[in-house]
Structures are given as C-alpha cells and as structure tokens.
Amino acid sequence: MIDLTKVATVFIGRRGEHHFRKIEFDVSSLLGDEYPGTALNAIYKRPDGIAYPVVTSYADGVLTWSPNSADTEIVGVGRLEIRVVQGEVVGKSVRILTIVEEALVDGIVEPPEPPAQE
C-alpha cells in the first residue's frame, strides 16, 4: 500500500497490460477527520504528457487503481496525483512517479515457423 505522505515511485505495468495490477493508496492522511464525505479523484499524466482522471474504487480508507491498456500504452515515466474535493476545498497528494516498462512484441497471434534444419 502506498503512503501518500511520502514521495513514491510505482511500477504500473508493461506496455499494453490491462487491469493486471491493483495499486492501493492509503488516503487516510488526505481525508483525516475533517473531510469524511469528500470526493476522491486520481489524475494520471502519461509519459507523453496527456493527463486525465483514472477510474478508481474506494473502501475503508484505501483508494485502488487498476491501470488499463490506455494507461500503459506509452513507455516511460508518468505521474499520478490524488485529489480530495469537498465543495470549494481542494487538497492534493504528493505526486507519485509511475513507471511503464517496454514489453516484448505485442500482437503475436501464432508462433513463427521453427528455423529450418541444415
């Protein structure tokens, strides 16, 4: 589980992975006792600079993100930020560095023919 009070680097998958990992964030430090009924949002900025909200689930002080193939499409270093919103109050977590690694060739349907024997 990732502590949002500390800077962290998280491996979110290899290029093209789809809902293979579940990444859990302890959001209790963001919510505290002051904001029990707030909205939580996770904003992801891919390595290519495109930023968008990601789909998460929340239960018992833990926000869970399962990166999809759009999130792991680009290899490199991205960023994730968790936001707490209650009315006009907006709080933001530390930025988390995200890593997407290269995968072996994707899209292979059938194995190639074995090499010819000499």
- What residue ranges in 55-114 does DSSP mark as E strands? 56-59, 62-65, 76-86, 89-92, 96-101
pLDDT of 10: 97
pTM here?
Answer: 0.84
**pLDDT tens-digit readout, 69-108:** 999 999 999 999 999 998 888 999 999 999 999 998 766 6
Superfamily of domain 2-101: Immunoglobulins (2.60.40.10)
Determine contact, residues 89/72, Cβ cutoff 8 Å: no
For the chain, domain boundaries: 2-101
Nearest alpha carbon to residue 42 among 87, 30, 99, 13: 30
